[in-house]
Amino acid sequence: MKINGLYVVSFALPILFASCQTTNPLIDSAPHELTKQAPKTTPEDNSLLSAADKNLPKENKTAEPQQLSNNLLWEKYDFLPSLLAFEKSCKNFSKKKDSLFMRPTNKKFGTFGDWKLKCKKLKKINKNSEDAKSFFEKEFKFISSNESNNSGTLTGYYEPIIEVRRTKSNVFSEPILTLPLKKEHKNLTRSKVKKIYSDVIAFGKPIDVFFMQIQGSGKIELENGEVKRAAYSGNNGKPYISIGKILIENGELLPTKASKLSIEKWMQQAGYEKTKELMNKNPRYIFFKEEEVVDQEGPLGAMRVPLTDMVSMASDPRYNSYGSLVWLETNIPKEINDFKGEKSGLLVSIQDTGSAIKGPFRGDLYFGSGKEAGLKAGVMKHDAEWKFLVPRK
């Protein structure tokens, strides 16, 4: 989606400082244009790097395999969601040539043929945490950066669920618009976008629709209880400007207390006119398309596979290929307003990207759908240590 992938925007950070457009204490993340979003201009090919392209970032060197057998976080982790997410990545791998290297500038990551061999073994794996753990330990090995620092910032994003109506009212007044047909209408700044240039999917509350645009995708709940997905369809090509950062610079919010919730409270107290004025300071506008929600699956990420809660991660595709497996050690919020978080280990799959997600060790973790996921993602911003898993030959 962002994006081409849930483009993501990390929630908290995105709002505060631009950083996945897709889905942090809101301090330096940008929106995630969920992939259905289609391209946050993200290519469909997992291998974005070419050794011949001198303009792309230099590849990080990797060390020899490491062992995590004595790691307590690894031992207590539930590997089943990671296995199911990896299984989704396999559907993408099946479209690649066996001889093509996942990361052309670093052959230690193996060919897609190597990864497909591991995918084939999934058919014989029982879907439980114990067997999933054995699978990853037996079929993969660990590599990490040779550089002194293989840590980076991990933020969070999510898929909002908002109430909508098919007809406009005083409460549900903000249209959720489809992508205009004419280029000149697609490229208008936020304050000049008009519903007469697009089809209207539904009407939501202005605050809800704005935050859904930051995340790049969302579920919309109609008055009769029916739930659809507003999937990313495109954007107006304007830069993302964080309204959270504006509020901090104006002294309206404290940097240490900035979050999605605090921004919403400010909007509620400020009223419609001031809220609209603030939102218009972010010229970027996201257009959507209505889709069915299939089997409660998450939105599509840039890799074009459904995202998995607390396992799918957005990363910079210039450095890290889609489908890569990464063991992360970081702090994860366990409840709302848990800025400190709890030390945790996570085996994630890189399946998305975002406009604010830049650098080899910059990640944005997908927290899932709904209000609780959003409030946790909104305070997620911690250092994270990265270790890559690669197929054993």
Cα–Cα dist 177/190, whole Å: 12
- pLDDT recorded at residue 69: 57
Q: Are 64 and 11 in contact (CB under 8 A)?
A: no
- pLDDT recorded at residue 100: 96
Cα–Cα dist 102/104, whole Å: 6
Of 344, 332, 19, 329, nearest in space to 152 by CA? 329
Domains and CATH numbers, the chain: 63-158+309-391 (2.40.40.10)
Q: Are 198 and 178 in contact (CB under 8 A)?
A: yes
| Residue type for position 69 | S
- pLDDT recorded at residue 103: 92
- pLDDT recorded at residue 30: 45
Q: Are 314 and 32 in contact (CB under 8 A)?
A: yes
Inter-axis angle of helices 112-121 and 129-139, nearest 10:
150
Q: DSSP letter at 226?
A: -
pLDDT digits (tens, 9 = 90+) for 328-355: 999 999 988 888 999 999 999 999 998 7
pLDDT tens for the chain, 393 residues long, are 443 334 333 444 444 433 344 433 333 344 554 433 333 333 333 333 333 333 445 544 544 445 665 689 999 999 999 999 999 999 999 999 999 999 998 999 999 999 999 999 999 999 999 999 999 999 999 986 554 468 899 999 999 999 999 999 999 999 999 999 999 999 999 999 999 999 999 999 998 999 999 888 899 999 999 999 999 999 999 998 989 999 999 999 988 777 778 888 999 899 889 999 999 999 999 999 999 998 889 999 999 999 999 999 999 999 999 999 999 999 999 988 888 999 999 999 999 998 779 999 999 999 999 989 988 998 899 999 999 999 998
- pLDDT recorded at residue 55: 46
pLDDT digits (tens, 9 = 90+) for 186-242: 999 999 999 999 999 999 999 899 999 988 889 999 999 999 999 999 999 999 898
Cα–Cα dist 183/302, whole Å: 24
Cα–Cα dist 371/374, whole Å: 5
Q: Which residues 6+ apart lie within 8 Å of 2 measured at CB?
A: 8, 20, 22, 32, 33, 34, 35, 37, 40, 42, 216, 232, 301, 302, 314, 352, 353, 354
Q: Does the model's pTM come out above 0.85?
A: no
- pLDDT recorded at residue 337: 82
DSSP string for residues in 295-345:
TTPPPB-TTSSB--TTTEEE--TTTS-TT-EEEEEEEE--STT-SS-EEEE
Q: Are 4 and 41 in contact (CB under 8 A)?
A: yes
